Chains A and B, each alone.
Chain A
Amino acid sequence: MNNTTKNKKTISLSSRLQRVILGIVLIVTISFLIAVYIITEKERRDYAVRESESVLRTLSNNVITDIDNYKELSRLIMTESRLVSFLRADMNEVDISMINDARYGIMDILNVTEGIDTVIVMREDLTMFGTNRFTYTYDSDIIRKTAWRQDIYNKNGAAIVSLNTNGIAKKTGDKPLVTIGRAIYDINSQKRLGIMLMNIKAGNFDKMLFDLRSNDICIIGEDGSYLAGNKDYAQYFDENFLSKEIVHQPKVIGGKMALISGCQVADTPIVLLKVSNVGNEGIPFRVIFVLLLLLAVLVSLAFYTGIFIRKNITDPVFMLSSAMEKNRSSGELNKIDVDVSSSELMLLESDYNNMIDHVNELIGRLMENEKTLQKAEMRVLQEQIKPHFLYNSIETIGFLALDAGADNVHEALETMGSFYRNFLSKGGRVIPLSTEVKIVKDYLALQKLRYGDIIDDEYDIEPFTENAIVPKLTLQPLVENSIYHGIRLKGEKGLISIKSFKEDDGLHIIVRDTGVGMTDEQIAKILSFEKKDRPAEADESFGLWGTIERIRIYTGNKDAVKIRSEVGEFTEIEIIIP
């Protein structure tokens, strides 16, 4: 960018503007991305949470319903007559057939259901039996203690859910079981007769999960033991999930964001764990789309502002500046005309133009003053010369000479009068060539009087060049130069020839002398445009230099004067006036 101030510390308005706008765009974009990220994450998580809660609630309800069904079943079994007989019988009345009766009674009821692994009934005297006689091993030491059944007693006949037969027996293969336990009371005497434990296969839950089409759920006991579902997820269990409310824990599984949700099924030791991958389902595309739209609007607004400012402020400023610069480098102080749209810049332009006007006016006034001064000085000079007095004196002396018979004196005075008449003539700076030639002739006539016969002169003036207009005193100084720096130095008779003719490029005037000539260095120096080559006013070459300079200025052509010379032979100065 063309920074006219050339100051590297100064940043142009335009680039500053660019930076600001890019900054705004950057900040807006970053904020947008952060906002989108936050919203997306929250929405995805919320989606997963909602999803998990819904599944877990359903599952929890299903489990409760299932358990309730088994509880109901256990109540039915409790009233089975053969079992009641077994329980009511005295200790000594109990025999194997009575036990079998009770067993069959239970099994009759169990036949219509599925999922029950065994029902174990124990009298108060610890006489017991199970419907599944072969896959359980009982631990009689634990059975004798009361700790395992205290919870059941505390319920006073209501069912309680526990795990794995309350630890009194082991199922072959350590298959997990859910146990519903209850104390059995005599209907009439309300006397506790014994305890029933109903073991439900945890495999039942698998069926339930299958119905829900969920393979991301794991069912665990409150002690952390695996019951059903996806066994891999059992490891994520901890005590936080022992809560009736659904608990959510975010976790990274296999490099992916996941949400572990879990809860304890009410009144049971069963904990449900669901692991859901936080996927793209929850992304609020509509919100993001609106945000994107907003971002686009903001960014384009920012760019528009930039373009607007550039078009209306910086570009016109550059245009103004370059117009001013052009004006300055052109050397002429003209008014500028730049089409700027804003009124403030137009104000600047008109202020500049006013200033130009003012400057021009000042320059004009200065030049006027200078001219006046010059004129005044000229007048003083001319007053000092007093031509009238000079002329009258010349005539008076001329008469005296004539009267005394000195005709040559009169002649000389006449020539002098003629010379000064033309030489001092006021008026225009230009005169006809014929007058200039007359000046030279008179001048040479007078010089001949001084130096005798060392000068010859000849003229070859083409007749139609006589009226050509030339700057006054162009030839005389050249002739003077020829005498003093040419012929006189040679010490022998010299010839000054003046020739004029017309060519296509203008009037040519040649002054030639047969003097000592000039060296090429002298010629180059006198024709040089360099200020350092300019002779001092006291220099003898100043007169010639000044004449050349005057002719150049008059013609406006730097090549208007040519000098040819041969040392010891001649010097020829040619002037071309268009």
Chain B
Amino acid sequence: MNRPFRVMIIDDEESARKLMRAAIKWDELGMEVVGEAASGVEAINIIDDLKPDIAFVDISMPFMDGIEFTEIATGRYPNLIIIIMTAHDKFEYARKCVSMPVFDYMLKPMVREEITKVLERVVVKLKAAPDYWEELETKAMVGGDPSDNSSDQIKKYLDENFTDSKLNLAFVAQEFGFSPSYLSRKFKQDTGIKFVEYLNDLRMKQAQKLAQKGTKMYCTASEVGIPDPNYFSRCFKKYAGMSYSDYMAENSKG
């Protein structure tokens, strides 16, 4: 693998994410930080787009903590290198709960030297392995029957299940027995819209309906499958062009 390794930082503390981004000399390690998530919920929703090789996961996060996220991620992305970040008071707890194959546990507050050492080992491991994401891509190019109606089925499935916060591309692909890249490509081909956008549309439309009813934002967030209200708020603003409260004020039928 010759491309820079893609790093994702999942931590509810913005300063911690920023510190990690700024303090580590990523380029020297042949890495780049491709994205951050402030919660497990957000991470689930963007991970398919970011396609990270390495994920730093903080244990204590609201809405979906590091343990829950790790459980989901190790199932869906078997090659993802997960490094658990934890403070001492949660360390033993994390070790007990996370029986999954994580790469290492690191103590907070972070010490550059320690992280660098771990990452050097990660590099060795990744260099030895083939590019996972590339492989998926290649597989997607070859397989599949363009005439089937799986995209309709997937649409139907999403219509019915979009409120599940754990839903994402990788999960649905697993459900239908496709590789995520193939599903993504085929879905786009068949429907003219990206899978992620379709799912987001479903949720946001539902959210708008709820907003019109005057439902509180955190309740709506939870109901449409994005139980992290901060992330939901950003998604909504992006989609609707205004904040949830503004939207609610403008469109309230009450």
- Chain A interface (Cβ < 8 Å from any Cβ of B): 382, 387-388, 391-392, 394-396, 398-400, 402-403, 410, 413-414, 417-418, 421, 424-427
Alpha-carbon distance A426/B16, docked complex (angstroms): 23
Which of B13, B15, B89, B110 is close to A426, meaning CB atoms less than 8 Å apart? B89
Interface residues of B in 85-107 (CB under 8 A from A): 87-89, 91-92, 107
Task: Please indicate the chain A residues that have their CB under 8 angstroms from the CB of B19 in the complex.
Answer: 395-396, 398-399, 402
Contact A392 B16 (CB under 8 A): yes
Alpha-carbon distance A425/B91, docked complex (angstroms): 10
Given contacts A410-B23, A417-B111, A418-B109, is CB(A399)–CB(B18) below 8 Å?
A: yes
| Interface of B: prevailing SS | helix
B108 on interface, CB distance cutoff 8 Å: yes
Alpha-carbon distance A403/B22, docked complex (angstroms): 8
Residue of B nearest to A400 (CB): B15
Alpha-carbon distance A377/B236, docked complex (angstroms): 48
Contact B89 A388 (CB under 8 A): yes
Q: How far is the CB of B117 from chain A (nearest CB, A)?
A: 13
Given contacts A387-B88, A391-B87, A427-B92, is CB(A421)–CB(B108) below 8 Å?
A: yes
Having A395-B16, A403-B18, A403-B22, one finds 8 other A-B pairs with CB under 8 Å, namely A392-B13, A392-B15, A392-B109, A395-B15, A398-B109, A413-B109, A421-B108, A426-B89
Closest 10 CB pairs of A and B: A417-B109, A399-B19, A396-B15, A391-B109, A399-B15, A394-B109, A395-B16, A418-B111, A425-B88, A399-B18
Could you mark each residue 1-39 of chain B with 1 if its beta carbon is under 8 Å from any beta carbon of chain A, else 0?
000000000000101101100110000000000000000
Residue of B nearest to A403 (CB): B22
Interface size on B, residues (CB 8 A): 19
- Chain B interface (Cβ < 8 Å from any Cβ of A): 13, 15-16, 18-19, 22-23, 60, 87-89, 91-92, 107-112
Alpha-carbon distance A399/B88, docked complex (angstroms): 21
Contact sample, A vs B, 14 pairs, CB 8 Å cutoff:
A388-B60, A391-B108, A391-B109, A392-B108, A395-B13, A396-B13, A398-B109, A399-B15, A399-B16, A399-B18, A417-B110, A418-B111, A427-B91, A427-B92
Residue of A nearest to B92 (CB): A427
User: Considering residues A399, A421, A426, A427, which has the most beta carbons from chain B within 10 angstroms of its beta carbon?
Assistant: A399
User: Considering residues B15, B22, B87, B112, which has the most beta carbons from chain A within 10 angstroms of its beta carbon?
Assistant: B15
Residue of B nearest to A414 (CB): B111
Alpha-carbon distance A79/B22, docked complex (angstroms): 187
Alpha-carbon distance A398/B15, docked complex (angstroms): 9
Task: Please indicate the chain B residues that have their CB under 8 angstroms from the CB of A396 in the complex.
Answer: 13, 15-16, 19
Contact A395 B108 (CB under 8 A): yes
Contact B22 A402 (CB under 8 A): yes
Q: How far is the CB of A220 from chain B (nearest CB, A)?
A: 132
Residue of A nearest to B111 (CB): A418
Contact B109 A388 (CB under 8 A): no
Residue of B nearest to A398 (CB): B19
Residue of A nearest to B17 (CB): A399
Task: Please indicate the chain A residues that have their CB under 8 angstroms from the CB of B91 in the complex.
Answer: 427
User: Considering residues B22, B107, B109, B112, which has the most beta carbons from chain A within 10 angstroms of its beta carbon?
Assistant: B109
Q: How far is the CB of A417 from chain B (nearest CB, A)?
A: 3
